[in-house]
Amino acid sequence: MQQKSTQKILLFSVAAQKVEKIKALCKTLGISVQQVEKSDYGQKLGAIAGITGFKKDGSRYSGADFPAELLVFSGINSSQMDIFLAEYKKAGIEPIGCKAVVTPDNVFWSADKLFREIFNKDLAIDIGTPVQSIPALLGEAKNEFRAMVELTVNFTQETAGAYDLKQSEKDPEEWTPTSAGGGSIEQVSEENEFIEHIEFEEEYDGKHDRWNCKM
């Protein structure tokens, strides 16, 4: 009898064609893939991922679908995640902007809450390459270990849809109302928040180093 993999990737609001590509990739890596039904978006992440001690409560989510794709890692350590992301990029699969990892804290959250926490911040951080040894890259013979990793930070700089305006493809200075109407150029031009700096804090759980991002 084949043992069920505890390494799992949960997919939310991901197009069917992309799901199949991800499944094909994960099959070679020994990772199971679960396309989560919209009706389960209100369930706890632990229950959705099938983690021991969690059960679905029988309720059905009736809210709106997620406006962006979401990928959640469950039971996958940082090394395995590096391999997956590298192979994902190599396979040429279109990226998924929102990603998260099931943690001891958010395992009790609903999928809907997790998405809102990520999406409302308008921020996504993708690891572009696995962690690389700098001395090895430079051919240095040093005992001191230094490492490098490439991060891609995506954030919302301008928004138009929220005010029912769209930008002209021919003239970037021209804004016109969408079919919904309303809004003004003043609202679109208004700056509410911007990122001044990003801080990374290291945490060690006895086995792995984890980095938290603060803005």
Say which residue, 49 or 125, is predicted with more confidence. 49
Dist CA 148 CA 150 (whole Å): 7
Tell me which residue range forms the domain holding 105: 1-127
Q: Which residues, other chains included, contact 55 with Cβ-Cβ below 8 Å and sequence gap of 6+?
A: 47
SS3 23: helix
Domain boundary among 105, 127, 149: 127
Residue 68 placed within a domain: yes
Looking at the structure of the chain, the number of domains it has is: 2
Q: What pLDDT is stored for residue 64 in this prediction?
A: 86
Domain boundary among 127, 146, 171: 127
Do 102 and 170 belong to one domain? no
Q: What is the mean pLDDT of residues 26-49?
A: 95
Dist CA 4 CA 65 (whole Å): 29
Residue 67 placed within a domain: yes
Say which residue, 121 or 102, is predicted with more confidence. 102
pLDDT higher than 60, residue 185: no
Say which residue, 138 or 47, is predicted with more confidence. 47
Confidence band (pLDDT; 50, 70, 90) for 161?
very low
Domain boundary among 108, 127, 146: 127
Q: What pLDDT is stored for residue 11 in this prediction?
A: 97
